[in-house]
Structure 1
Amino acid sequence: MSGTQGLAHPDLADVALTDVLFALSDPARLQIVRDLADGPLEMAQCGATDPALPKSTRSHLMKVLREAGLIRNEPHGRQRIVSLRRDEVDAAFPGLLDSVLAGRDR
């Protein structure tokens, strides 16, 4: 697939737990995951990142989450829709997202 349309999304069987934990270790990436727990968002709506944050930094945050298998980033017209791969992550790492999302109220 071309770089502008389709992005590679790893099979979670090929993702190490350490990669997932690393992706969740950054507060901005963790907030993105928490925001996406309520449902898919347009990439521009992901409120975890400061609106003044450079586009390259925002793209890097999303890339780390996508490569760790936590999110799906799909084209939708001129926008990109970002969603949490909840069912797949729960199957590969049972209880992990429940623990991460339970900490949301702390």
Structure 2
Amino acid sequence: MPTASVRALEHPTCEEIRLEGVLHALSDPMRLQIVRYLSRLPEGEEAACSAIELAIAKSTTTHHFRVLREAGVVSQVYRGTAKMNALRRRDLDTLFPGLLDTVLRADAAQRRRTD
């Protein structure tokens, strides 16, 4: 049985990930929504871009995923025609211990306050 084709996209290496790039990527509400969704997946699981419902145009969604990938926050790979996404939690936790969890907790607190 043939396997699905896998096309790789460019990602920064762990050494190339910069704090300011990560903070910039996490500063946008739509990108934070993507990260929140991916953070809830079991480790090693991926989600297609289309699985994450965002109330924005597809071209804008593509832009947000690209910003997250180029900052080193997510990894993306094509599987067939779907672009699959996973949070680079291990890399981020190694480089910036506690940052991702702190941002996600602060985001949850803010959403509780403003809902």
Regarding TM over 0.5, the answer is: yes
Q: Which structure's CA Rg is the greater one? A: 2
Superposition misfits of 4+ residues, deviation over 6 angstroms: none
Map residues 72-83 of structure 1 onto 2, 5 A cutoff.
72-83=75-86
Q: Deviations over 1:67-99 (max 9, x none)?
A: 000001111122111110111110011110110
Give the aligned partner of residue 17 of structure 2: 15
Aligned length: 100
TM-score by length of 1: 0.86
Give the aligned partner of residue 33 of structure 2: 31
Give the aligned partner of residue 51 of structure 2: 45
Q: Distance in 1 between matches of 2:34 and 2:21?
A: 16
TM-score by length of 2: 0.80
Shift in Å, 1:25: 0.5
Cα RMSD for the two superposed structures: 1.5
Shift in Å, 1:12: 2.4
Q: Deviations over 1:41-63 (max 9, x none)?
A: 1110112x21xx22211110000
